[in-house]
Amino acid sequence: MFSKKMIYGFILSLFFMSFSANAADLNEILKNGEVKIAVPEAFAPFGSVGKTGEHEGYDVDVAKLIAKDLGVKLKIVPVVSKQRIPFLETDKVDLVISTMGANPSRAKSINFSSAYAPFYSGVFASSSVKVSSYADLDGLTIGVTGGTLEDLELTKMAPKGAKITRFGDNAATLSAIKSKQVQVLVAGNTVAASVTEANPDFDLERKFIIKDSPCFIGVKKGNEDLLRWVNVFILHKKLGGDLNKISLKWLGQDLPSLPSL
């Protein structure tokens, strides 16, 4: 039989375990004066080490904006993909802003905010090329990296008159669009963004999206106040144009319509 003292001690330990599990909620962050945010370790243009030796990118700018609106200091924690959820679950970070897609499997472990960034495969070309659907690719020369998701989608959907050239890697595909060997680029938005990032005057714009997989902010389960705050933050920055400015800066494209949760 357990004594009353042992039972009381057990209940007390559960209380402190519960408190510790939710230590990253909004009130604690405001009280501590610091927010710890995971960003990509090496995944430009969302997060990587810049020329100054500091982390920079789309996700880093969003993290800075969150800290500014919270009125607290920002602690950047660079992570690789496999660290994102464990770091959140073990309180190494308060939020994960690291190009993370939402799916039912991940949602068993953590909560997701509304989408804050676009991540997609798309069709890109100069402003003089009039393309808004697969049908418009008829007769055009198209560059794509062979064997990629984009290649599979393009092969399945392109009209018979489309002239598709498959390259061995992204570097060769990008070289083809920059040298005008092809008129159209089919690639992930980060790949396309690297062209305009290297040369801001290069005329390349998104024509349409072929597969969408936007990015969401990860929040630890139980931190409901923080999750609600993050969703209000995202809505505010969408409406105010801040996220659009970040998208133009790092992706070279206006922010597309993003889903809300």
What single string gives the DSSP state of each residue in the chain? ---HHHHHHHHHHHHHHHHHHTTTSHHHHHHHTEEEEEEESSBTTTBEE-TTSSEESHHHHHHHHHHHHHTSEEEEEEE-GGGHHHHHHTTS-SEEEEEEPP-TTGGGTEEEEEEEE--EEEEEE-TTS--SSGGGGTT-EEEEETTSHHHHHHHHHS-TT-EEEEESSHHHHHHHHHTTSSSEEEEEHHHHHHHHHH-TTS--EEEEEEEE--EEEEEETT-HHHHHHHHHHHHHHHHHTHHHHHHHHHHSS--------
CATH number of this structure's domain 120-212, picked from the four choices 3.50.50.60, 3.40.190.10, 3.40.640.10, 3.30.70.260: 3.40.190.10
Q: Where in the chain is the domain with CATH 3.40.190.10?
A: 22-119+213-251, 120-212
Rounded to whole angstroms, the Cα distance separating 114 from 117 reads 10
pLDDT at 8 over 70: no
pLDDT at 162 over 70: yes
pLDDT at 107 over 50: yes
This prediction's pTM: 0.76
Please, are residues 139 and 200 in contact by the beta-carbon 8 Å criterion?
no
User: What's the pLDDT tens digit per position in 119-138?
Assistant: 999 999 999 999 999 999 99
Query: What tokens were used for 127?
Result: 């402003």
pLDDT at 111 over 90: yes
Rounded to whole angstroms, the Cα distance separating 226 from 217 reads 11
CATH number of this structure's domain 22-119+213-251, picked from the four choices 1.10.287.1080, 3.40.190.10, 3.90.1150.110, 3.30.300.210: 3.40.190.10
Please, are residues 188 and 154 in contact by the beta-carbon 8 Å criterion?
no
pLDDT at 93 over 80: yes
User: What's the pLDDT tens digit per position in 9-60?
Assistant: 544 444 444 444 444 699 999 999 999 999 999 888 899 998 899 999 999 9
- What's the pLDDT at 9? 52
- What's the pLDDT at 253? 82
Query: What tokens were used for 124?
Result: 């890109």
Q: With bands split at pLDDT 50, 70 and 90, how would you rate the model's confidence at 149? A: confident
Q: With bands split at pLDDT 50, 70 and 90, how would you rate the model's confidence at 3? A: low
pLDDT at 1 over 90: no
Rounded to whole angstroms, the Cα distance separating 153 from 209 reads 11
